[in-house]
Amino acid sequence: MTMPLTHGEIEYYSRQLKLPEIGLHGQEKLKNAKVLCVGAGGLAAPLLLYLAAAGIGTIGIVDKDTLETSNLHRQVLYRYAQRGLSKIAVAKRELLALNPAITVELYPLDLHPDNALDLVQNYHIVADCTDNFATRYLINDVCFYARIPYLYASVQQFQGQCSLFAGHVGPCLRCLFPTPPQAGVIPRCSEAGVLGVLPGLLGTLQATEIIKWILQQGQSLHGKLLTLDALNMEFKQFNLPKNPECKLCVYRTPIKELLKSTTETIRYAISAQGLQKALQHKKNLLLIDVRDPEERDRDNPLGGRLIPLAVLANYLSDFDPNQAIVVYCHSGLRSQMAVKLFLHAGFAYVKFLQDGLIGWKKETLLT
Q: Are 245 and 229 in contact (CB under 8 A)?
A: no
Smallest separation, CB 25 to Zn ion (Å): 33
CB burial of residue 297 (10 Å; 0-12, 13-18, 19+): exposed
Distance from C-alpha of 265 to C-alpha of 339, rounded to nearest angstrom: 10
Q: How far is the CB of 248 from Zn ion (least distance, A)?
A: 5
Question: Which is nearer to Zn ion, 106 or 176 (by Cβ)?
Answer: 176
- Could you tell me the CA-to-CA distances from 167 to 28, 120, 143, 160, 241 in Å, in that order? 27, 15, 8, 21, 11
φ, ψ for residue 300 (rounded to 5)?
A: -145, 65
**Does the annotation count 189 as an active-site position?**
yes
Site map (CB under 5 A) of Zn ion, residues 247-276, x = contact = -xx---------------------------
Identified binder of Zn ion from the candidate list 136, 174, 291, 330, rule CB under 5 A: 174
Closest CA to 42 of 90, 77, 85, 66: 77
- Residue 88 binds Zn ion, judged by CB under 5 A: no
For Zn ion, the closer of residues 242 and 361 by Cβ is: 242
Tallying the residues shown for the chain, one arrives at 367
Residue 59 contacts residue 51 (beta carbons within 8 Å): yes
- Provide the CB-side half-sphere exposure for 247 (13 A, CA): 14
309 binds Zn ion (CB under 5 A): no
Angle, in degrees to the nearest 10, between helices 356-366 and 272-281: 70
Identify which range of 52-60, 105-113, 173-181, 259-267 contacts Zn ion by CB under 5 A: 173-181
What does the alpha-carbon distance between residue 71 and residue 336 come to, in Å, rounded to a whole number?
30
Rule CB under 5 A: say whether 136 interacts with Zn ion.
no
Do 247 and 260 contact (CB within 8 A), yes or no?
A: no
Segment lying near Zn ion (by CB under 5 A), choices 73-81, 96-104, 175-183, 323-331: 175-183
Among 40, 151, 172, 339, binds Zn ion (CB under 5 A): 172
Q: Kindly state the smallest distance separating residue 205's Cβ from Zn ion, in Å.
A: 22
CB of 251 to Zn ion, least distance (A): 9
Assess 175 for contact with Zn ion (CB under 5 A).
yes
| Strands (DSSP E) found in 3-75 | 34-38, 58-62
Which residues, listed in sequence order, are joined to residue 107 by a DSSP beta bridge?
Answer: 62
- In the bound state with Zn ion, the residue whose beta carbon lies nearer, of 91 and 246, is 246
Residue closer to Zn ion by CB (options 179, 237) is 179
- Residue 176 makes contact with Zn ion by CB under 5 A: no
Active-site position among 37, 172, 249, 329: 329
CB atoms within 10 A of CB 267: 9
Q: Residue 262 or 335: which CB sits closer to Zn ion?
A: 262
Given the complex with Zn ion, which of 6 and 179 has the nearer CB atom?
Answer: 179
Q: Minimum distance between the CB of residue 243 and Zn ion, rounded to whole angstroms? A: 6
Give me the least distance between CB of 255 and Zn ion, in Å please.
13
Residue 102 and residue 53: Cα distance in Å, rounded?
9
Residues 129, 143, 175, 189: which is the catalytic one? Answer: 189
Residues between 221 and 250 with contacts to Zn ion, criterion CB under 5 A: 246, 248-249
Q: Is 329 a catalytic residue?
A: yes
The distance of closest approach from Cβ of residue 257 to Zn ion in the complex, given in angstroms and rounded to an integer, is 15
Question: Which residues in this chain contact Zn ion in the complex, by CB under 5 A?
Answer: 172, 174-175, 246, 248-249
Question: What are the residue numbers of the active site?
Answer: 189, 329
